[in-house]
Structure 1
Amino acid sequence: MSRAALAVLPLALLACGGNAAQPSDTVQASSAESSTAAPFAKTVMTQLDSPWAMTFLPDRRMLVTEKKGQMLLLSADAKQRRTVATLPVDSAGQGGLMDVVLSPDFSTSKRVYFSYSARGDGGTKGVVLARGLLDLQPGGERLRGIEVIFRARPFVEGDGHYSGRIAFSPDGRYLFFTNGERQKFTPAQDKSMTLGKVLRLTPDGKPAHGNPLVAQGFQPEVWSYGHRNLLGLAFDKSGNLWEQEMGPKGGDEVNLILPGRNYGWPNASNGSHYDGRDIPDHRPGDGYEAPKVWWNPVISPGGLMIYSGSMFPQWKGDAFIGGLSSESLVRVHLDGTNASKGDQWPMGARIREVEQGPDGAIWVLEDGGKGSGGRLLRLSAR
């Protein structure tokens, strides 16, 4: 789950969090060459209130975040629940309680990391990274000792593109955290800001030693830049870091994240501005790292999971993405540092999060927007 040191690294709205629609939210993905009948059975496990993310505990219980600020502990069969924390989130627009992951040493530390959007001074807002200790004493389950360990810089006005995804490096030494560009475009290229960036931190939320762009004047946490709205982040078994983000009108992306690279936004994109103005496409020699896979029309990608289970052996090592406006589950085939489009299955609801269950089943969260219900689903082999 975490990231290795630099020397050993391998070489939208509800579509982003809220209920109002962006133009990219209204375009349905059409990928006839990759859409197939779903080879899995769908079981509705429970109903939730605009859930955003989930993670499994070692005993098969689940932590689930809800947009308005509740963190829930669900039983393994999802029939019982307990609110373990209510966080002071700003849930307007795309804001809310966002990602949740366990510390690599959770079995001994009981530490949980999570992100949410918060208010700042003068009406500004931003995404924060926090952690707490999960007390699992029967009948008294609670997240205690909550502390904010990192705040995006700067907080700005608006309710969009917070991002807030978390991934630990495979060795557990580093925490990677995404900061969206807050629908402000230029922060993604601005050295003085953490916005529009992938960050590499210590587990205490401090800048990791050896980050690649410090000498160029970037904020010391920055690992890569030129990003828009980064809503998925995951490592594969070889230690490659994969990220997916929403493009503007078209141009949703899956990227292989490499240290110090510029991924182009807003100077390059395979989509266009919402008002129809062109953005130069990625092209060889333009100085920007191009996506490995991109979509036009959009899929409005939600959570990202890389599958390692045995229930679906044909998909081991592949990435799974929740489709929001496309109301789909999307598979991307990963082959080393290359990627290609796989299947796209219609789900009939906006899919916010995708996780692998302890037995290899695939679990997904509907985000509750536009009538999608906010359900927790388990997908098992037929």
Structure 2
Amino acid sequence: MRRLRIISATLVLGIMPTALASADTYTSDQADFRLETVASGLEHPWAIAFLPNGDKLVTERAGRLRVIRDGQLLDEPVSGVPDVAARGQGGLLDILLHPDFDNNRLLFLSYAHRNAQGMTTRVARAEYQDGALQDLRVIFEARPRSGTTRHFAGRMAIPADGYLYVAVGDRGERDRAQDIGDDAGGVHRITIDGEAPEANPFHDQGGSRTLFTLGNRNIQGMTLHPDTGEVWSHEHGPRGGDEVNVIEAGTNYGWPVITYGINYSGTPITDRTHKEDMAQPLHYWDPSIAPSGMAFYTGDDFPQWQGDLFVGALKMQKLVRLELDGRDIIGEEDLLTSLGERIRAVSMGPDGHLWLLTDSADGQVVRITPAK
């Protein structure tokens, strides 16, 4: 993979809004659009899933799974959610539907879990029926546990191979990301029953049997390319060095041996940005934008956005649009910079719209629609 850093002008968009409302119109260099508030009053929403019947399931980091039905947030959360440790950056994280959800009703939840040995990232599988999770089973647990409350990662994807890909952060203990015997700091590939495929790259090397990649600091965005089916991701750097990558078997993405970031104190982490046998990012940000959530646009309302990659930003409070030519990132535009909201999740909805979750104690679910 090659690194291409794009330096482009930031476009400050539209009117200075005081709230998310459908009356707010934004102008970009390719399209005018509006934000439509679908639901509010969510406590730090983290991820959204779209059910075949039109309902939406939204995770709240505090440990609740909420239902949006006919544009209304239901008061009663989904029952049967696993025990979640909502501490630091931990809590209830991603939600992912099985590709055959219509028939098997299976979904997956990633979350932080705590016991006497410390905290870790878990994934549970359950059946969803009528507002309740049934037959819940833990199918993955990252080991070893630790006492930190940072960098749980948690993003998930199921590409065409049918396996579940799970991101685990370095837990704030950076050297763990280079240890193939440690589950922290990489992407794991498992079956939907939690088994390790024999084709996993470290299966026969004395390392973690589920480990698929290493050298990943804290992946906060994961999605499938609409044409190639590849798993794309992005991860937080420290002070600079946020990365966009394509997840490939056995790849070492370099953290913390190579990085374009520095310590939060301003001191260097390493003097290297390149090393043989370590991948270069497709794109990186310096300074850090704290990316979170990502989706390719595949709808019809904005044909000029077709195939563009959209990334939310927590620290910089914006939505970033990346233009692609294959794997090359050839352009970048900053959207919603005047909104003043941390964008936690970006999803492509079955209705052809981009959906966003804002990260706050009064978080909102919004969607992007054309300005007509």
For this structure pair, what is the TM-score category when the shorter chain's length is used for normalisation?
0.7 to 0.9
1:34 Cα offset (Å): 4.3
Structure 2 counterparts to residues 138-177 of structure 1, below 5 A: 141-171=131-161, 173-177=162-166
Aligned to 1:280: 271
Q: Secondary structure at the match of 1:215?
A: coil
Does structure 2 conserve the Cα–Cα contact (< 8 Å) formed by 1:52 and 1:65?
yes
1:179 Cα offset (Å): 0.7
| Cα distance change, pair 148–42 in 1 and its aligned pair in 2 (3 A) | same
Q: Secondary structure at the match of 1:339?
A: strand
Does structure 1 conserve the Cα–Cα contact (< 8 Å) formed by 2:66 and 2:74?
no
Aligned to 1:27: none
Distance 1:376 1:199 in 2: 29
Amino acid at match of 2:9: E
Q: Secondary structure at the match of 1:83?
A: coil
1:57 to 37, 51, 58: 51
Amino acid at match of 2:288: V
Q: How many pairs align? A: 343
Q: Secondary structure at the match of 2:255?
A: coil
Q: Secondary structure at the match of 2:72?
A: coil
1:83 to 72, 77, 88: 77
Distance 1:83 1:287 in 2: 47
Distance 2:184 2:330 in 1: 28
Amino acid at match of 1:336: G
1:281 Cα offset (Å): 4.1
Does structure 2 conserve the Cα–Cα contact (< 8 Å) formed by 1:170 and 1:235?
no
1:73 aligns with 2:63: no
1:208 Cα offset (Å): 1.8
| Cα distance change, pair 312–76 in 1 and its aligned pair in 2 (3 A) | farther
1:35 aligns with 2:28: no
Structure 2 counterparts to residues 291-302 of structure 1, below 5 A: 291-302=281-292
Structure 1 alignment gaps of length 5 or more: 1-29
Structure 2 length normalisation: TM-score? 0.88
| Cα distance change, pair 133–333 in 1 and its aligned pair in 2 (3 A) | same
Does structure 2 conserve the Cα–Cα contact (< 8 Å) formed by 1:128 and 1:148?
yes
Post-superposition Cα deviations, 1:113-146, rounded to whole Å, max 9, x if no partner, equal: 0111000323x1001000111113xxxx211111
Post-superposition Cα deviations, 1:133-178, rounded to whole Å, max 9, x if no partner, equal: 1113xxxx2111111111001111110000011100124x211000
Amino acid at match of 1:35: L
Aligned to 1:358: 350
Amino acid at match of 2:56: M
Distance 2:364 2:356 in 1: 8
Distance 1:286 1:55 in 2: 39
| Cα distance change, pair 338–208 in 1 and its aligned pair in 2 (3 A) | farther
Aligned to 1:367: 359
Q: Secondary structure at the match of 2:183?
A: coil
2:328 to 329, 338, 352: 338
Aligned to 1:46: 39
| Cα distance change, pair 325–96 in 1 and its aligned pair in 2 (3 A) | same
**Regions of 4+ moved over 6 Å:** none
Aligned to 1:247: 237
Does structure 2 conserve the Cα–Cα contact (< 8 Å) formed by 1:312 and 1:360?
no
1:101 to 63, 71, 96: 96
1:212 Cα offset (Å): 1.6
Q: Secondary structure at the match of 2:49?
A: strand
Distance 2:11 2:207 in 1: 42
Amino acid at match of 1:222: L
Does structure 1 conserve the Cα–Cα contact (< 8 Å) formed by 2:61 and 2:86?
yes
2:307 to 311, 317, 338: 317
Amino acid at match of 2:315: S
Aligned to 1:269: 259
Distance 1:361 1:231 in 2: 21
Aligned to 1:17: none
RMSD: 1.8
Does structure 2 conserve the Cα–Cα contact (< 8 Å) formed by 1:231 and 1:245?
yes
2:113 to 110, 113, 118: 118
1:363 Cα offset (Å): 1.0
Identity %: 35
Distance 2:322 2:267 in 1: 29
Distance 1:180 1:166 in 2: 12
Q: Secondary structure at the match of 1:314?
A: helix
Post-superposition Cα deviations, 1:323-369, rounded to whole Å, max 9, x if no partner, equal: 00110011122332333442111132001001112221111111106
Distance 1:53 1:316 in 2: 23
Post-superposition Cα deviations, 1:49-88, rounded to whole Å, max 9, x if no partner, equal: 1111101111221010001100012114235454113431
1:275 Cα offset (Å): 2.4
Structure 2 alignment gaps of length 5 or more: 1-5, 14-27
Q: Secondary structure at the match of 1:219?
A: coil
Structure 2 counterparts to residues 121-270 of structure 1, below 5 A: 121-122=116-117, 124-136=118-130, 141-171=131-161, 173-237=162-226, 238-270=228-260
Structure 1 length normalisation: TM-score? 0.86
| Cα distance change, pair 182–74 in 1 and its aligned pair in 2 (3 A) | same
Distance 1:332 1:205 in 2: 34
